[in-house]
Structure 1
Amino acid sequence: MKEKLIEQSILLFEKQGFNATSIQDIVKKLNVTKGTFYYYFTSKEQLLMEIHDDYITNLLDRQLKIISRSSLSQKEKLIEIIRLLIIDIQDHGSSARVFFRELRHLSEGNVAAIKKVRREFLENVKNVVQEGINQGEFTNTLRGDMVAFGVVGITNWSYNWFNPDGDVTPEELARIYYQMILHGILNE
């Protein structure tokens, strides 16, 4: 039941927003009582925090699996991280949209906890880029931290507009992004 409450909440938060969605809206969709909700969550914010924490922790775990693969070059790791973020839209797009849009509704302490994990994710991207620069895979004329912000910014913004069921597949968008990031758009 807890998972059903979370899933329904994600859909409602995505469609209506956190503030416009009441606990009553959530339980009504599942035909359960508010008591059921309060058995699993002390508040709507606790539910939102769990959605945020589950989302970013899962994404970070999958990123760490990519980074830990010693058989991959830094370029391949960066490509896989870009793929992870874009393909994730297909599998977890609703959660991602709630994650990015509803953070402002968390208390200061909860925001700090989520931002800490977000920074870790970004730091991992920066480390992959910097290691690629150090190993000569990437140009040494760029700053690893700024490239990491660019990669994460480009991919994260896709959650707002990309439709995985549209004309462009997630794999194709990931390929466009990593080609653009790694090679630019000039035809030289």
Structure 2
Amino acid sequence: MARTQQAVEADAANRSVPERLLGAATRLFAERGYEGTSVQEVVAAAGVTKGAMYHYFGSKDDLLYEVYARVLRMQTEHLVRIAAQEGAPVADRVRDAAADVIVTSIANMDDTVIFFRSMHQLSEDKQRAVRAERRRYHKIFRDMVVQGQEEGIFRTDVPADLVVNYFFGSVHHLSTWYHPGGTLTGEDVGRHFADLLVAGLRPES
């Protein structure tokens, strides 16, 4: 059933000011591009004042950074939780982690696309901060692959770094072919990608 305009507006009113600003920025950056969107347009779409925005975000640059950083933080929290599951076989943890990053990337596709399209607009400090957080994420994922190799669960003829670069290269290209409303849900794609990754890591019998 289609939601009423009143329900949509009620949801927006119940969101915090930062959430409203980030939601408006994501939509406008996706529609008009980062350079083509003004701060005034963002605050107007969010229904807040410039003063309210500058209370939480120092600049439009900060908004762009947070659009992607919040997704990366969420994905890292998920990964840390998955990697720390005591007693869970490493193959299961790698599969769960691989599926999670696909599902969350698809669920936040606009944020990811906007960021990679406009990352060069950020200050060098912010670019370094994002790259450092992505390296941390990849290292946690890589460490699970290494553990599987050391336990004889995964093949050792392919370096773990190459496994990580191969898999996340596929993740970063999701936006070039995935379309919501198609025959595959985000969960379907996550399951298939995860199964393919783990199957490819198994030693040849």
Q: Any idea what SS the aligned residue of 1:102 has?
A: helix
Aligned mate of 2:62, from 18, 24, 46: 46
Aligned mate of 1:74, from 69, 73, 90: 90
Aligned mate of 1:144, from 160, 173, 183: 160
AA of the residue aligned to 2:116: F
2: CA distance between counterparts of 1:90 and 1:181?
18
Aligned mate of 1:118, from 129, 134, 142: 134
1: CA distance between counterparts of 2:86 and 2:186?
26
Deviation per CA, 1:100-137, whole angstroms, max 9, x where unpaired? 32221110011101100000111111111111111011
Aligned ranges for residues 108-187 of structure 1 at < 5 Å?
108-184=124-200
Q: Which residue matches 2:19?
A: 3
Deviation per CA, 1:125-167, whole angstroms, max 9, x where unpaired? 1111111111011111111110011111112221343124211
Q: Any idea what SS the aligned residue of 1:66 has?
A: helix
What is the Cα deviation at residue 57 of structure 1? 1.4
Q: Which residue matches 1:88?
A: 104
Structure 1-normalised TM-score? 0.89
1: CA distance between counterparts of 2:92 and 2:83?
10
2: CA distance between counterparts of 1:82 and 1:15?
29
In percent, how many aligned pairs have the same letter? Answer: 25
Question: 126-135 or 14-23: which moved more?
Answer: 14-23
2: CA distance between counterparts of 1:173 and 1:50?
26
Kept in 2: contact 1:89–1:164 (CA 8 A): no
1: CA distance between counterparts of 2:69 and 2:105?
17
**Residues 60 and 19 of structure 1: CA distance in aligned 2, closer, same or farther (over 3 Å):** same
Pairwise CA RMSD of aligned residues?
1.9
What is the Cα deviation at residue 20 of structure 1? 1.2
**Residues 39 and 94 of structure 1: CA distance in aligned 2, closer, same or farther (over 3 Å):** same
Count of aligned pairs: 185
2: CA distance between counterparts of 1:150 and 1:87?
18
Unaligned runs of 5+ in 1: none
